[in-house]
Amino acid sequence: MSLLTFDKVNLKNIVADIFQAEGLSSQESETIAKHLVLANLRGVDSHGVTRIKNYTEKKTNQQRSSEKQL
């Protein structure tokens, strides 16, 4: 498996776009993206962009739970 590398600005933009597509505001998305990318840059990969899937799945599950309560 080859290692992928990204420019930090491009990666932050990609991450922010993902969270905006999930329905978060631009400001929320930018803040989350900044912190996830910073975690990777600090070498704490377990708290970086690898968390995107977990966070988006959690949001989806919360939405489904809310819909069931209606």
pLDDT at 58: 85
Question: Using one digit for the tens of pLDDT, what is the confidence trace for 14-60?
Answer: 999 999 999 999 999 999 999 999 999 999 999 999 999 999 998 77
pTM attached to this predicted model = 0.82
Whole-Å CA distances, 9 to 25, 52, 62, 67: 19, 17, 30, 36
Model pLDDT, residue 67: 57
> Do the beta carbons of residue 11 and residue 49 sit within 8 Å?
yes
In CATH terms, is domain 9-69 a member of 1.10.1530.10? Answer: yes
Q: What confidence tier does 65 reach under pLDDT thresholds 50, 70, 90?
A: low
